Amino acid sequence: MEAFSARAGVSGGDGGKTHWVDALVDAGATYGVIPASMLREHVGIEPTTRLTFTFASGERRELPVGEA
């Protein structure tokens, strides 16, 4: 897998606020991970569901998920 740094804009897709972050991008990842507190405070995104994720270490965690 390739990983690189990039500046990314995060928004709710409704033409509202965009919050810019410096991100570490994993080219093989399916989901991006941004702290929920940042999404709520800066963009107004709230979680809509919870999904279970398995990390490279084998750890499984259920986390809240929202759409950006």
Taking only the tens place, the pLDDT of each residue in 1-22 is 689 999 999 988 777 789 999 9
* % pLDDT > 70, the chain: 99
Question: How far is the C-alpha of 66 from the C-alpha of 38, rounded, in Å?
Answer: 12
Question: How far is the C-alpha of 67 from the C-alpha of 52, rounded, in Å?
Answer: 16
**Strand 49-54 relative to strand 60-65, pairing:** antiparallel
Collapsed DSSP state (helix, strand, coil) of residue 1: coil
Whole-prediction pTM: 0.66
What pLDDT sits at residue 1? 67
